[in-house]
Amino acid sequence: MSITSLETHTAETSGVRVLWADLPIDPTMTVWFGVGHQDMSPATAGITHLVEHLVMRRLGHVAIPHNAESGMVSTQFYATGTPTRLVDFVERVCEAVTWVRTVTDEDLVLERRTILAEVGLASLYAGADAFSLRYGLRGMGLGAVSHTRLLDWTAAEVRAVAQEWFHAGNAMVVSTTPPPVALTLTLPAGPAPVRARHPETLLPGPSWTRAPGEHVVLSGTMSDSAPEGFRSLAISVLHDVLRGELRTTLGHVYSVEVMAFSLDPEHDLWTVVLDPPPESVCDVVAAACGVLERLATTGPTGEELERTRAGLLEEIELGAGRAGWFDSYASRSVRGITAPSLAEELELLASATPADLRGPVGDLRDSLLVMFPADHDPHETALTSLGNAGAREIDIFAPSTPPTDGRGRSFRGRFFSRARGLVFTLHDDRIVLSSPVDTLTVPLADVVLVGTDRDGDVELVTGRGAHLVVAPSLFRGFRKPFEAILGRIPSTATRYDKQRVMVSADEPVTTAITS
């Protein structure tokens, strides 16, 4: 069988979509659900991870290699083995998914603990990433708060998510061999989801900022103005050219990691993560901007295009390469996104010219977001390159309007505490934290999450993704005025106890995070 003749087949079993292809790898079956963090609200983002763990615990002992994943766009359970074992695995997954609709709060205890061990204490607090900076806490931006309520979710919330998303209408069984005749799927019935278009970006155009982390991150979007095959090839060319420039030629990075997501039928989202040492950050940003501008303006050289094209063609001849393509195809299909066949992609891959890739890379350039490590001050070389790209600095903590009550009331951190040098100012419409190096503003009307721990510390998170942890005990005379200000936060915000449940029999979660 030639690779261009690889066919995908669709069927239906017990009301569930089935997708399969005959691949030269060990037989693998996956139960996919077209739901991930991006489909939730700020209050429930990440709860699909808890559903995944509950299902896997319910399975009991499975005699073949198996695992599960929950991420931004889907939740999946997969195994590799003989047809009889695979049928047993899939049927047990279906039973476990049905059982989740009946879970109790006691059923959640062990899996909360396991997930906390997996993601770490810091994940109980909001973060900032390229997606939340672009979209706020909507769609793909919800990954920044994906476990903030891990210790507060109730069984009722888990059951509601299972009812809405984990059913036959939002499921797909994917197999790398023809599905066994004995396969039956006993998932609860449910309608196919009606998916809204992904939220629009909140960025004003090309932008740059600083955010927690050690890496340089570039991200952008592509529209469907170019065929998907050209868009995929453009991303691969960008990866190869960046790697050649930043690692092979300059020696400034070790890793160039590219990820891409289909947001909806009209848009793709991409991100490139780079790992330069601190002294090379600005040189890497300047060089990356130069590569992006060149590829968007003139396209890759003939040699660059042929090198990437040859590598992709070699990869797809391998069983692992075909399986990777099939996995990507399935991940879009389960969410109702029509994907081209492998033959269609290969036809575009073979015919693409440098000019065909200018448009997709131009989309990336025009929607560019560059993230510097938080403690890095960009120097002139990087700022010039960003300016040439039309990128403006953004600050999600910067106020858009002056306060409604003038100067407000200020409270200084206690002298002999870790809050020394910090000042909180309370206004009728906002909270402002000032330090010797920065000022952070949280508009009360924008707050969507209010989490309180057992020390009385409070995390405030806005829909734009700004977040602040307030420790009232560290500021003189602050607690009562602060509690009064909290009363001004809209009733639509979710208020929760960050440590409502214990992670062990006798000890609550503690954290070193402070304001």
In CATH, what number is assigned to the domain containing residue 454? 2.30.29.30
Token digits for 92? 């047990």
Q: Tell whether the model's pLDDT for residue 312 goes beyond 60.
A: yes
Looking at the DSSP assignment, which residues form a beta bridge with residue 211?
373
φ and ψ of 51, to 5 deg: -60, -45
| Confidence (pLDDT) at 185 | 94
* Mean pLDDT on 337-356: 94
* Mean pLDDT on 111-133: 94
- Residue 515: pLDDT band with limits 50, 70, 90: very low
Q: Tell whether the model's pLDDT for residue 321 goes beyond 70.
A: yes
For 254-291, how does the pLDDT look when each residue is reduced to its tens digit (9 = 90+)? 999 999 999 988 889 999 999 999 999 999 999 999 99
Cα distance between residue 366 and residue 183, in whole Å: 48
* Mean pLDDT on 69-89: 96
Is 194 contained in some domain? no
- Residue 124: pLDDT band with limits 50, 70, 90: very high
- Residue that finishes a domain, picked among 363, 393, 423: 393
Token digits for 90? 């899939």
Indicate if 369 and 414 belong to the same structural domain. no
Q: Are 401 and 393 in contact (CB under 8 A)?
A: no
Q: Tell whether the model's pLDDT for residue 506 goes beyond 90.
A: no
For 408-455, how does the pLDDT look when each residue is reduced to its tens digit (9 = 90+)? 999 999 999 999 999 999 999 999 999 998 899 999 999 999 999 988
Q: Tell whether the model's pLDDT for residue 131 goes beyond 50.
A: yes
| Confidence (pLDDT) at 1 | 40
> Minimal CA–CA distance to 326: which of 172, 498, 123?
172
- Residue that finishes a domain, picked among 393, 423, 450: 393
Q: Are 405 and 427 in contact (CB under 8 A)?
A: yes
Cα distance between residue 53 and residue 61, in whole Å: 14
Q: Which residue has the tokens 């299909």?
A: 333
Indicate if 322 and 436 belong to the same structural domain. no
Cα distance between residue 475 and residue 477, in whole Å: 6
Is 41 contained in some domain? yes
Calculate helix-pair angle for 281-297, 354-366, nearest 10 degrees: 130
- Residue 342: pLDDT band with limits 50, 70, 90: very high
| Confidence (pLDDT) at 501 | 75
Is 246 contained in some domain? yes
Indicate if 367 and 276 belong to the same structural domain. yes
Is 183 contained in some domain? no
Indicate if 14 and 114 belong to the same structural domain. yes
Q: Tell whether the model's pLDDT for residue 107 goes beyond 80.
A: yes
- The dihedral built from the CA positions of residue 216, 381, 202 and 263, taken in this order, carries a sign that is negative
Cα distance between residue 25 and residue 30, in whole Å: 14
Cα distance between residue 253 and residue 250, in whole Å: 8
Indicate if 375 and 478 belong to the same structural domain. no
If one compares 374 and 240, the residue with the highest pLDDT of the two is 240
Indicate if 35 and 87 belong to the same structural domain. yes
Cα distance between residue 416 and residue 508, in whole Å: 26
Q: In which element (H, E) is residue 35 found?
A: none
Cα distance between residue 164 and residue 160, in whole Å: 6
For 231-261, how does the pLDDT look when each residue is reduced to its tens digit (9 = 90+)? 999 999 999 999 999 999 999 999 999 999 9
| Confidence (pLDDT) at 4 | 54
Domain that holds residue 382: 207-393
For 38-48, how does the pLDDT look when each residue is reduced to its tens digit (9 = 90+)? 999 999 999 99
Q: Tell whether the model's pLDDT for residue 391 goes beyond 90.
A: yes
Q: Are 224 and 266 in contact (CB under 8 A)?
A: yes
**Could you tell me how far CA 224 lies from the centroid of its own chain?**
21
Is 71 contained in some domain? yes
Q: Look at the chain and count its residues.
A: 515
> Minimal CA–CA distance to 426: which of 448, 407, 439, 446?
407
Cα distance between residue 456 and residue 479, in whole Å: 9
* Mean pLDDT on 131-152: 96
Query: Does the pTM exceed 0.75?
Result: yes
- Residue that finishes a domain, picked among 361, 393, 425: 393
User: Pairing state of beta strands 423-426 and 207-211?
Assistant: unpaired
| Confidence (pLDDT) at 511 | 34
If one compares 196 and 393, the residue with the highest pLDDT of the two is 393
Conformational region of residue 406, where left means phi above 0, alpha means psi within -120 to 50, and beta covers everything else? left
Indicate if 454 and 485 belong to the same structural domain. yes
Indicate if 37 and 168 belong to the same structural domain. yes
Is 327 contained in some domain? yes
Indicate if 356 and 454 belong to the same structural domain. no
Q: Are 221 and 380 in contact (CB under 8 A)?
A: no
Indicate if 84 and 134 belong to the same structural domain. yes
If one compares 499 and 174, the residue with the highest pLDDT of the two is 174
Instruction: To the nearest 10°, report the CA torsion of 391, 396, 398, 401.
Output: 100
| Confidence (pLDDT) at 356 | 97
- Residue 489: pLDDT band with limits 50, 70, 90: very high
Contacts 24+ apart (CB under 8 A), 477-481: 477/411, 478/411, 478/424, 481/409, 481/411, 481/426
Q: In which element (H, E) is residue 285 found?
A: helix 281-297
| Confidence (pLDDT) at 509 | 38
Burial degree of 180 (CB within 10 A; 0-12, 13-18, 19+):
middle
| Confidence (pLDDT) at 116 | 94
Is 398 contained in some domain? no
Query: How many independent structural domains does the chain possess?
Result: 3
Token digits for 357? 């890739």
Cα distance between residue 355 and residue 483, in whole Å: 60
Q: Tell whether the model's pLDDT for residue 476 goes beyond 50.
A: yes
Indicate if 16 and 49 belong to the same structural domain. yes
Q: Tell whether the model's pLDDT for residue 504 goes beyond 80.
A: no
Range in 79-88, 140-149, 263-272 the model is least confident about? 263-272
Q: Tell whether the model's pLDDT for residue 5 goes beyond 80.
A: no
Token digits for 253? 């990075």
In the chain, % of residues over pLDDT 90: 88
| Confidence (pLDDT) at 502 | 56
Is 281 contained in some domain? yes
CATH number at residue 57: 3.30.830.10
* Mean pLDDT on 343-370: 96
Indicate if 139 and 217 belong to the same structural domain. no
Radius of gyration of the chain (CA): 25
